[in-house]
Amino acid sequence: MDQAENLRKLVQQNNSQIARPVARVITVTSGKGGVGKSSLAVNLAIDFARLGKKVIIFDADFGLANIEIMLGIRPPYNLADLMFRGKNLEDIIVEGPEGIGFISGGSGIQELTMLSREQIIYLTQKLFQLDKLADLIIIDTGAGIADSVLEFVAASSEVLLVVTPEPTSITDAYALLKTLNRKSEFSIKNSKIRVVANRIAQPSEGPELFEKLSIVSEKFLDIPLEYLGSIPQDPNSSKSILQQQPISVLFPNSPSAKAITGLAEKICNIDTGTVAEKKGMAQLFSNLIKSRHRKKTQR
């Protein structure tokens, strides 16, 4: 039995033992950088917390410490410390506004292929604990068609794809979907992709952007997309980043904060029964590790 097989068994065993449903995991991504992924992730998390949910944000954007800056907190440890240096979940989860939890992936995500069997088992057990701690886990990814981003998207059952009215935003989102579609581990049956139009100038712009993207996505890639909603262009957004506090804390009545609250409510009202396949963080990481192993053995 290889490592991936072992891991699958472990996940199956644990899944059958879980009485309470595992955390719902939502991955935020985009084709292009700087479209508002991290802002959306952070403010959604705060809204979910206000709706009474236990929320954890997982920062999987290896390059930039975006969320750390937005929340004005620096976690002393990250996922790699849990994987390799014996840290526990409580050591790597820091508390943010409204009691949201924040975990930094650090170099842990890149190092997933370097885990020994014992380390995989340890990580999986910790992720099962995490699944029990949270109702919702929001994963913030980097932008674009980098393998590390697409792997996360392919392994996720719920994806938020952020686009803006900038000319290249739609073509970059399309490029991401196209590359995603070529990945053997991606199946639209297992992933629901919902589009969020950010920084729009007028209400009609959101549905227009969505139409453009969803027509080509369905026609050429056979990937159906759903429209979640839009967020207006809002000058308070950059102010809140400068002050290192989320907009829903600093300016909860600003147009973009209100729009994000509406999106959070919409997400909470979605019946997740149909996307149960890959739910939970342990399952997601199991998918990730499996696809990395497959790649390694193919080389």
Ligand X SMILES: Nc1ncnc2c1ncn2[C@@H]1O[C@H](COP(=O)(O)OP(=O)(O)O)[C@@H](O)[C@H]1O
Looking at 1-9, 29-37, 44-52, 91-99, which segment touches ligand X (CB under 6 A)? 29-37
- Identity of the residue, 83 or 176, whose beta carbon is nearer to ligand X in the bound complex: 176
- Residues 92 to 131 in contact with ligand X, rule: CB under 6 A: none
Residue 27 CB, shortest distance to ligand X, in Å, is: 13
- Identity of the residue, 29 or 286, whose beta carbon is nearer to Mg ion in the bound complex: 29
| Out of 14, 27, 43, 66, the residue judged to bind ligand X by CB under 6 A | 66
| Out of 148, 179, 191, 198, the residue judged to bind ligand X by CB under 6 A | 198
| Out of 36, 96, 97, 106, the residue judged to bind ligand X by CB under 6 A | 36
- Residues 144 to 183 in contact with ligand X, rule: CB under 6 A: none
Q: Which residues of 20-44 are buried (b: 16+ CB within 10 A; e: fewer)?
A: eebbbbbbbbbbbeebbbbbbbbbb
| x-marked contacts with ligand X along 238-257 as a string, rule CB under 6 A | x--x--------------x-
- Identity of the residue, 66 or 240, whose beta carbon is nearer to Mg ion in the bound complex: 66
| Out of 4, 22, 26, 38, the residue judged to bind ligand X by CB under 6 A | 38
| Out of 14, 27, 30, 78, the residue judged to bind ligand X by CB under 6 A | 30
Contact, 60 vs 109, CB < 8 A? Answer: yes
C-alpha–C-alpha distance, residues 293 and 140, integer Å? 23
C-alpha–C-alpha distance, residues 27 and 58, integer Å? 9
141 binds ligand X (CB under 6 A): no
Q: Which does 290 bind (CB under 5 to 8 A by kind): ligand X, Mg ion, none?
A: none
192 binds ligand X (CB under 6 A): no
Q: Which does 241 bind (CB under 5 to 8 A by kind): ligand X, Mg ion, none?
A: ligand X
Residue 42 CB, shortest distance to Mg ion, in Å, is: 9
- Identity of the residue, 131 or 172, whose beta carbon is nearer to Mg ion in the bound complex: 172
Residue 69 CB, shortest distance to ligand X, in Å, is: 9
| Out of 37, 192, 290, 292, the residue judged to bind ligand X by CB under 6 A | 37
Looking at 75-83, 122-130, 171-179, 233-241, which segment touches ligand X (CB under 6 A)? 233-241
Residue 34 CB, shortest distance to ligand X, in Å, is: 4
57's CB contacts (< 8 A; 6+ apart) are 41, 42, 45, 67, 96, 100, 101, 102, 103, 137, 138, 139, 140
Q: What angle do CA 102, 276, 291 make, to 5 degrees?
A: 70
Contact, 231 vs 200, CB < 8 A? Answer: yes
**Interface residue list for ligand X (CB under 6 A):** 30, 33-39, 66, 198-199, 231, 233-234, 237-238, 241, 256
